[in-house]
Structure 1
Amino acid sequence: MAGLEKHYFGRGNTAVGLYTLYDSILNGLDTVFVIDGRIGSGTSQVLAQLAAAWKDNGWTKHYIHETLDSEQLEGIILEEARIGIVDGNAWSADPVLEGTEIRVIDAAAALRSGFIDDVEARTKDLEQEIAALYAKAYDSFLKTLRIHDEWEKFYIDHLDRERANQITAEFADEYLVPFRSKKANVTRRFLGAATWQGALDYVPNLTENLRTRIFVKGRPGSGKSTMFKKLAKEAEARGIDTEIYHCGFDPNSLDMLIFPELSLAIFDSTAPHEHFPSREGDSILDVYELAIKEGTDEAFAEEIAEIRGRYSASMKHSISILSDIKRIRDEVWSAYDAAVDPAALRAVATQVVRQVDALTNSSV
């Protein structure tokens, strides 16, 4: 019987650059396999082969998607086995996790002898072009964030902070009830990302098995992220395990909290990750209606519409740069793929499977 699947991102193309949460995601695992080596799409292929090998077993599997192209994987976690597998190009050049055994698997051995120098020479200029485009994309995302800040100000200036604090306190008292005394386990992830195809999120997948889901509605600047930060701090103080999901556009903001022990999620359910209640246990918390001065939308409708238009255009421009990066990177990966021995690549995946079998006393 296949186990549960969780999908999310470990990194983000954000307004502050490439932002990673892998140290938090991998923290606490017993063993982490690092698939090392500059081999184009080879590491993603290994992870895809591993995902296929473990598809039908009973473990809860975390699939960590690549932020540029969500169809590619850059990590897998086998939850009950406390084992992680991560693309070394996506994590750290010198990975260290306290209390975790790191096993480095050399995937570069799958490159055919004598090809690597030629491939590196052919792709050098393309790699430099990709680096320059990433810098351009991050600058564009930052400009987009500054426009978003203009948008937020209308609502920040008309926010009833006392009422907002009251909403947060009432939620904590109603829902964040600890059932045993312990130290909280806190993990940070991204629920969504700005990909080359636009914004993408995994909220439905991450929350589908939870009993209670709170869909927070509102406007930019209506206090949603601030509420989540306060609730995360309160949950930790009460010993409640918390999955904290950062905004894939502005990692300093939070988009969702999941409390697994309470079977509870509360999340920002506005664009670009807008979702609506669909079953029993779902409810809406509209902070605009509850904590923003009545008539704010109407009073500043013209100004807000102009800012929204600039924001949308700037975001589309930023995404178009990621699309250019994807196109050029495909050329680089194609050059490396031509130099990779498919059988040797499959052997890398088999090596990981056998080591995991030995660690878990199981077989696939």
Structure 2
Amino acid sequence: MVQKPGVRHYFAEGVTNRGYISFLPNMMSEWERTYVLMGGPGTGKSTMIKMIGLEILDRGYEVDFMRSARDPDSMAGFNVRNNNLAMLDQYEVAPLRWRAPGIIEHFVDFTPFCDTQKLEHQRERILGLENEEKKLQQEIGVRLAEEFGEKARGKRTIEPEPQGRSWLKNIYLSIDQDEEKDGPWSKVQGALRQLQKSKVTSFFLHGLDSEGWLNFAPHYLTDYDQIRLEGKETSDAMDWVLKEAEQLGQVIDIVLHPLYPEVIIGIIFPQRNLAIWQGSPEQLTDQGLDRPFSEELKSSLIKFQDARQLLKSIYMEVNDFSRVDQLRDELLTKILRDLEGLK
């Protein structure tokens, strides 16, 4: 992956052994304009996100690309840093509650670019593949919990704070929180309450792939000065840094463990161009992610990707991409006007 100046790649959502977790609701609270692309897989939404994001980047803006947690090769959206404008693929992200539909969020429907009559003939097949995707995603979550159920040792964990202000009501979870009040999820709640105290962006830099974990950390941290912590006192040191930064009102990016979302593996200070990391960003061993996947987990991941590709192929065969290209030019013009107004 080639890293261009001003661009970052991360996962705003993750398939963890605690369930499917999305940090998008918390991020969206800062956005003033959000373009939401609607339509089936394979209709050109991810490509549009990538191309418009790169066009904006070439005009001097800083852009964060959000990869799909379900399909790391696809773009789930982008966010123009410091300008509070974003674009999301509704199909690639968890269900979200929109604040002011049609006013703050602008919905763009790709369905008119498809031959709906041909799609109707494929209705049963489409529904069958979508159901298969849902079942496989649940299966993947179960297998992750079975294979990686032990809590990572030696990693920085934020302790719960009773009086903390929680934004859990704005986060999408695929598990019932009430079922596990005294279990691991209560620790996640405590972590998120603590993070709410400062201007913090939380995300993942590792994505789930059939061949193992995709690691975006080395690319993400390329331009940052790095302090790499090792040894028994690492957790205490991270704890001290985080508390001091909160008291000083710093802008903080928190990188969470892709399996254990209550565990912090990196603290980044964008304004200071500084990153503090547990171990080496290049070494998955330091994050406890070097354990190979079982053949069963690999099989579930491959089946999931196969179902997605079949769904995409159905939509691609009936889509008019010349109209999609025309729409891209129109959206880019509108977004650039928005960005000028948001300065």
TM-score bin, normalised by smaller chain: 0.7 to 0.9
Partner of 1:215: 228
- Once the two structures are superposed, residues 56-93 of structure 1 have per-residue CA deviations (whole angstroms, 9 ceiling, x without a partner) of 22111111111233221111112243211111121434
Partner of 2:245: 235
User: Secondary structure, in 3 states, of the residue corresponding to 1:249?
Assistant: coil
CA distance, structure 2, for counterparts of residue 260 and residue 332 of structure 1: 39
- Kept in 2: contact 1:68–1:196 (CA 8 A): no
After superposition, the Cα gap between the structure-2 partners of 1:275 and 1:231, relative to the gap in structure 1 and judged at 3 Å, is same
CA distance, structure 1, for counterparts of residue 272 and residue 284 of structure 2: 21
| Unmatched runs of 5 consecutive residues or more in structure 2 | 156-196
After superposition, the Cα gap between the structure-2 partners of 1:227 and 1:262, relative to the gap in structure 1 and judged at 3 Å, is same
After superposition, the Cα gap between the structure-2 partners of 1:113 and 1:132, relative to the gap in structure 1 and judged at 3 Å, is closer
**1:86 equivalent among 64, 84, 88:** 88
Partner of 2:258: 248
Partner of 1:187: 201
Structure 1 residues 44-123: aligned runs within 5 Å: 44-89=46-91, 90-96=93-99, 101-123=104-126
Partner of 1:326: 305
Q: Which amino acid aligns with 1:350?
A: D
User: Secondary structure, in 3 states, of the residue corresponding to 1:312?
Assistant: coil
Q: Does 1:202 align with 2:204?
A: no
CA distance, structure 1, for counterparts of residue 32 and residue 267 of structure 2: 25
- Kept in 2: contact 1:3–1:58 (CA 8 A): no
CA distance, structure 1, for counterparts of residue 275 and residue 49 of structure 2: 29
Identify which range, 343-352 or 72-81, moves more after superposition.
343-352
Q: Does 1:343 align with 2:322?
A: yes
Partner of 1:162: none
**1:130 equivalent among 120, 129, 133:** 133
TM-score (structure 2 length as normaliser): 0.75
- Kept in 2: contact 1:217–1:268 (CA 8 A): yes
Aligned Cα root-mean-square deviation (Å) = 3.2
Structure 1 residues 263-278: aligned runs within 5 Å: 263-269=273-279, 273-274=282-283
Structure 1 residue 54 displacement after superposition: 3.2
Q: Which amino acid aligns with 1:114?
A: Q
Partner of 2:32: 30
Structure 1 residue 3 displacement after superposition: 5.0
Structure 1 residue 118 displacement after superposition: 2.4
- Kept in 2: contact 1:23–1:97 (CA 8 A): no
Identify which range, 314-323 or 353-362, moves more after superposition.
314-323
Q: Which amino acid aligns with 1:257?
A: I
User: Secondary structure, in 3 states, of the residue corresponding to 2:122?
Assistant: helix
User: Secondary structure, in 3 states, of the residue corresponding to 1:54?
Assistant: helix
User: Secondary structure, in 3 states, of the residue corresponding to 1:115?
Assistant: helix
After superposition, the Cα gap between the structure-2 partners of 1:201 and 1:41, relative to the gap in structure 1 and judged at 3 Å, is farther
The percentage of aligned residue pairs carrying the same residue is 18
**1:140 equivalent among 139, 143, 161:** 143
- Kept in 1: contact 2:12–2:67 (CA 8 A): yes
Q: Which amino acid aligns with 2:328?
A: A
Q: Which amino acid aligns with 1:85?
A: M
- Kept in 1: contact 2:11–2:69 (CA 8 A): yes
User: Secondary structure, in 3 states, of the residue corresponding to 2:250?
Assistant: coil
Structure 1 residues 4-43: aligned runs within 5 Å: 4-43=6-45
- Once the two structures are superposed, residues 3-60 of structure 1 have per-residue CA deviations (whole angstroms, 9 ceiling, x without a partner) of 5111111111111222111123333122111112234353212213323433522111
Identify which range, 89-98 or 135-144, moves more after superposition.
89-98
Q: Which amino acid aligns with 2:323?
A: A
CA distance, structure 2, for counterparts of residue 261 and residue 8 of structure 1: 18
- Kept in 1: contact 2:25–2:96 (CA 8 A): no
Q: Which amino acid aligns with 1:248?
A: P
| Unmatched runs of 5 consecutive residues or more in structure 1 | 157-182, 277-285, 287-307
Structure 1 residue 116 displacement after superposition: 2.9
CA distance, structure 1, for counterparts of residue 279 and residue 296 of structure 2: 24
Structure 1 residue 137 displacement after superposition: 0.7
TM-score (structure 1 length as normaliser): 0.71
